[in-house]
Amino acid sequence: MIVDNEVEILLVEDNQTDAELAIRALRKRNLANRLEWVKDGAEALDFIFATGKYAERNVNNTPKVILLDLRLPKVDGLEVLRKIKSDERTKTIPVVILTSSNEDRDITESYTLGVNSYINKPVDFDHFSETVSKLGFYWLLMNKPPV
């Protein structure tokens, strides 16, 4: 578990297979060295806001990007997104929804709450791997965040 200022990617994914595929795809491009994987929405909020088991973490050391699933145990992804985007300390963190949901209401609600991108998880392994690699490359190396 990385708890200092080294986290660049926060992966919020309850499905172990999807998480492992995402991590493998990011490792392939050398983008997973500073990745933290959390398995539910409550743990994601604890990490982001430095509470619970992450209370020792400096809340000001935010991830460069959050890859967020919507269908999560404990606290769903839309509520996690709502809390991130409504807090002054975290509202500028890029959040990318990476989910199997293609429901119009989820897409609309995500953008209403301030998501930066909404991507459906490809079903095919190679396509999924390529999508995650491109996401990591763009958000970590190409995107220019506010200072």
pLDDT reported for residue 14:
95
pLDDT at 1 over 90: no
Rounded Cα distance between 31 and 24, Å, is 10
Lowest mean pLDDT among 16-30, 31-45, 75-89, 107-121: 16-30
| CB crowding 45-84: b at 16 or more within 10 Å, else e | bbbbbbeeebeebeeeebbbbbbbbbebeebebbbbbbbb
Question: What is the reported pTM?
Answer: 0.87
Please report the pLDDT score of residue 27 as a whole number. Answer: 83
CA distance linking residue 76 with residue 97, whole number of Å: 12
CB 69 within 8 A of CB 77: yes
Distance CA 32, CA 42 (A): 22
% of the chain exceeding 70 in pLDDT: 92
* pLDDT tens figures, 27-62: 887 777 788 999 999 999 999 999 999 999 888 888
pLDDT confidence of residue 102: 84
